[in-house]
């Protein structure tokens, strides 16, 4: 039996995440790490799928009118590489990503992107629920201070490093 076909899925690695409103990050090198992974993937001739978040909230740095929705230069899609625009956390909702992966015979996903506890986590969980085998590349992901708002219970913010690690711990084993 041949090995399952793998694809790289890059989630929301966009210029908007350089906006200072996101606050402190746990991994300032996530985009560059994702870029190195992408270069390796392309050199191997393996399939690549790009996902971009287009917020419907006009106040979001990820809203199309901000002019910051472009992909980070380290992971800019090449002509012919599919791009999926989404408006919710999951890369599978409102897109043809699942159908396109299945049509290509993909069974195994390698996922990286921004941010770990939000769109990356949701996409990983849903991919596993849909029956894909998932690997998450933790050093090509990041959490930001905005992901770590604890003001609702203690008036502060948790360290993004802790939020990133907690999200990885929750995904490990069951989903990735």
Q: Which whole number is the average pLDDT over 119-134?
A: 98
Q: Is 141 noted as a catalytic residue in this protein?
A: no
Stretch (H or E) spanning 7 = strand 5-11
Rounded to the nearest integer, the mean pLDDT of the chain is 93
- Cα separation, 95 vs 86, in Å, equals 7
Candidates 59, 118, 130; CA nearest to 86 is 118
pTM of the model: 0.93
For 48-84, what is each residue's pLDDT tens digit?
999 999 999 999 999 999 988 999 999 999 999 999 9
Dihedral in degrees, nearest 10, Cα atoms 84, 21, 151, 113: 30
For 140-168, what is each residue's pLDDT tens digit?
999 987 777 777 677 677 788 888 888 99
Residue 82 contacts residue 100 (beta carbons within 8 Å): yes
DSSP 145-173: GGGGB-HHHHSSB--HHHHHHHHHHHHTT
Question: Which pLDDT score is estimated for 160?
Answer: 83
Question: Which pLDDT score is estimated for 152?
Answer: 66
10 Å Cβ neighbour count for 161? Answer: 15
Is the per-residue pLDDT at 21 higher than 90?
no
From the candidates 48, 119, 126, 137, which is the catalytic residue?
A: 119
For 75-104, what is each residue's pLDDT tens digit?
999 999 999 999 999 999 999 999 999 999
- Cα separation, 173 vs 176, in Å, equals 6
Which fold would CATH assign to domain 5-171?
Answer: Rossmann fold (3.40.50)
Burial (Cβ within 10 Å: 0-12, 13-18, ≥19) of residue 98: middle
């Amino acid at each position: 039996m041949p090995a399952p076909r793998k694809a790289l899925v890059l989630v929301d690695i966009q210029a908007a995440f350089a906006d200072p409103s996101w606050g402190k990050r746990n991994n300032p090198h996530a985009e560059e790490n994702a870029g190195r992974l992408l270069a390796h993937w392309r050199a191997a001739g393996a399939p690549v799928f790009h996902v971009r978040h287009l917020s419907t909230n006009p106040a979001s740095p990820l809203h199309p009118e901000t002019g910051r929705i472009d992909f980070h230069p380290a992971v800019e899609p090449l002509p012919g590489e599919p791009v999926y625009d989404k408006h919710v956390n999951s890369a599978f909702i409102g897109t043809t990503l699942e159908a396109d992966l299945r049509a290509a015979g993909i069974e195994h996903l390698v996922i990286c992107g921004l941010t770990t506890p939000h769109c990356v986590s949701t996409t990983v969980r849903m991919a596993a629920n849909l029956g894909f085998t998932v690997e998450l590349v933790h050093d090509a992901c990041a959490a930001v201070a905005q992901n770590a708002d604890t003001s609702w219970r203690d008036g502060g913010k948790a360290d993004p490093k802790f939020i990133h690690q907690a999200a990885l711990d929750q995904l490990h084993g069951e989903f990735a």
